[in-house]
């Protein structure tokens, strides 16, 4: 710990407290300087330096485009060049997932609209992205990989074949699209709300690139927290003009994620397995057993 503080000497860090929230593999600390100011410190293995530098680029572009997120303080190699660090200004706020229920339905919807508008800004970032293949090829490989994960898993969903039906039905709709920068894990669990009710987007570390609509693949987490927020997020992104094809591709992206979430959960134990099973039940109910393509939680406006 002392060696790490020495590497961070230019920031006058006096204390480091482990910060274990989230699913990231990064080592995280709450750092405090001698004035008591807090920072978020992230450490990644040096092998992931290029990924971290792209993370840095996302943070810098966020500042340019007025996307509320952590402000970058510094980054460099540390601990005998075995790690690469990011040090970020601390955001004083509460987890949006927990805070959202304290707002009125109108306010929940407006916060969702705010998140959708912010997502559209992220997709407009001018970041040089190299793609190894067209989007349909890339995502079809992803679908095939997740089908294999599910088939090899010892556990299965009840009526899990319906997810496979969705993949076979809608994957043909994949087409070449704008290769835009993606946050990679955009949902209410990666958002904070500050004392001024401003929404902040965090955790760009899973950044990616591809179809902008794929960014809605985790909207089920938003739905669980607030139907109004989830609806506002879609309407805010599309400025209330949601394309019909979006709903079919959304179902493809959600089904792909849901299929692999059960094998993903197995190593984490029964609680995570139950969470994924319950999530699939909620998905079936929202889509009436996949007899419809627009989920019943969606609303064009708040009543």
User: In this predicted structure, what is the pLDDT of residue 8?
Assistant: 86
Domains of the chain in sequence order: 2-89 (3.30.200.20), 94-286 (3.90.1200.10)
Nearest to 214 by CA among 141, 121, 152, 135: 135
User: In this predicted structure, what is the pLDDT of residue 176?
Assistant: 78
User: In this predicted structure, what is the pLDDT of residue 303?
Assistant: 67
Nearest to 49 by CA among 82, 3, 87: 82
Pair type for strands 191-193 and 180-182: unpaired
User: In this predicted structure, what is the pLDDT of residue 301?
Assistant: 81
Low-confidence ranges of the chain (pLDDT < 50): none
Nearest to 41 by CA among 68, 78, 80, 92: 78
Residues in the chain: 303
Report residue 299 as tokens. Answer: 């609303």
Give this prediction's pTM: 0.93
User: In this predicted structure, what is the pLDDT of residue 23?
Assistant: 63
Separation between Cα atoms, residue 203 and residue 14, nearest integer Å? 25
> What contacts 23, CB < 8 A, 6 or more positions away?
none
Report residue 126 as tokens. Answer: 């001018």
Report residue 53 as tokens. Answer: 């530098």
Cα first-last separation, the chain:
54
Separation between Cα atoms, residue 30 and residue 49, nearest integer Å? 21
């Amino acid at each position: 710990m002392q060696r790490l503080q020495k590497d961070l000497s230019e920031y006058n860090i006096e204390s480091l407290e482990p910060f274990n929230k989230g699913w990231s593999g990064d080592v995280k600390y709450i750092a405090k300087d001698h004035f008591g100011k807090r920072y978020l410190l992230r450490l990644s293995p040096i092998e992931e330096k290029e990924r971290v530098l792209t993370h840095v680029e996302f943070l810098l572009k966020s500042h340019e485009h007025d996307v509320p997120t952590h402000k970058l303080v510094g980054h460099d190699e540390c601990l005998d060049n075995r790690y690469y660090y990011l040090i970020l200004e601390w955001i004083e706020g509460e987890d949006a997932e927990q805070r959202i229920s304290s707002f009125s339905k109108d306010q929940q919807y407006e916060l969702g609209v705010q998140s959708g508008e912010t997502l559209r800004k992220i997709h407009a970032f001018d970041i040089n992205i190299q793609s190894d293949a067209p989007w349909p090829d890339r995502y079809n490989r992803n679908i095939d990989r997740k089908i294999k994960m599910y088939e090899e898993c010892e556990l299965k969903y009840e009526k899990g074949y319906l997810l496979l039906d969705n993949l076979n039905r809608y994957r043909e709709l994949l087409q070449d699209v704008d290769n835009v920068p993606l946050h990679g894990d955009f949902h209410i669990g990666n958002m904070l709300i500050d004392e001024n009710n401003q929404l902040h987007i965090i955790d760009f570390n899973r950044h990616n690139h591809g179809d902008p609509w794929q960014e809605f693949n985790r909207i089920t987490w938003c739905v669980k927290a607030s139907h109004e927020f989830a609806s506002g997020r879609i309407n805010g992104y599309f400025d209330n003009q949601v394309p019909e094809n979006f709903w079919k591709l959304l179902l493809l992206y959600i089904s792909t994620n849901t299929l692999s979430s059960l094998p993903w959960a197995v190593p984490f134990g029964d609680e995570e397995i139950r969470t994924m099973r319950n999530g699939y039940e909620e998905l079936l109910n929202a889509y009436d057993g996949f007899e419809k393509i627009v989920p019943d939680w969606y609303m064009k406006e708040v009543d």
